[in-house]
Amino acid sequence: MASGRAELALDELVAVEQSQGPEASVVAAAAYAEQGQRAAVEESLTRMPKAQPALSVQVSRLLVEVVRESWRPSRGRARVVLDRSLRLAAPEALRRPFREAGPAVQLLLAADPRLLLEHPWLNNSESSSPHRSGYAGKVAPAAAEAGADLVETLTPKELEVLGHLEELLTTEEIAEKMFVSVNTVRTHVRSILRKLGVSRRNAAVRKARELGLFAA
């Protein structure tokens, strides 16, 4: 999950002895949420024990709820749940669930500068996640001021492709990394170019940098 590969996370869970425990259940729910598999999300969450789980599991479960709420036309409820998860994590400065969260959570954080101002501990760690180098799912806080409206028009998959474009990967390499077809990548690229108002890939990367869409 930390590397942004929900499919592989689900495969790895098969080999986990405590696959019905709260930690494994919330990881499965998060992976299914990234894939948009609503029924599987519900099933994974119902397997969690009623006893109070660890704080990290509680926060991660709320972030799964954030993703589910982000599927609605209005994201108001998603922002409310995100705020709850931040307040729950704040006393322990629990950054990991947010750093490993998917694009939906990152977009909401970037689009609401109030949350980042209220929770500066999110960016106080000198070390950021080693994965997703250049991955646009890690939207930089500056995007909240420099183009939050634009960020929300890009889908999570488009943001991921945009991050790979910054890494100078070819269409074929992006397709292999994302486990999708070359035609799917080309469709995402065309959409990115249109939304950013540019005609070439390198211009899209430059525009994204200007808008602060890439994490530092």
pLDDT value at residue 148? 43
Task: Give me the amino acid identity at 81.
Answer: V
- CB under 8 Å to 213, separation ≥6 — which residues? 136, 139, 140, 143, 147, 151, 159, 162
Q: How far separated are the first and last CA of the chain, in Å rounded?
A: 21
Q: For residue range 4-33, list pLDDT tens digits in order.
A: 678 888 888 877 765 567 888 888 888 888
Q: pTM for the complete prediction?
A: 0.56
Q: For residue range 39-75, list pLDDT tens digits in order.
A: 888 888 887 777 778 899 999 999 999 988 888 877 7
| Mean pLDDT, all residues of the chain | 78
CA angle 96/164/34 to nearest 5° reads 50
Are the beta carbons of 57 and 95 closer than 8 angstroms?
Answer: no
Mapped onto helix, strand or coil, the DSSP state of residue 40 is helix
Residue 126 DSSP label: S
pLDDT value at residue 195? 81
Banded model confidence at residue 134, pLDDT cuts 50, 70, 90: very low
Residue 104 dihedral angles phi and psi, to the nearest 5° = -60, -45
* Residue 142, both tokens: 């500056």
- CB under 8 Å to 110, separation ≥6 — which residues? 139, 140, 141, 143, 144, 148, 151
pLDDT value at residue 118? 85
pLDDT at residue 35 tops 90: no
pLDDT at residue 38 tops 60: yes
Dihedral sign computed on CA atoms, order 78, 80, 45, 177: positive
Query: What mean pLDDT comes out for the span 87-116?
Result: 83
Are the beta carbons of 14 and 20 closer than 8 angstroms?
Answer: no
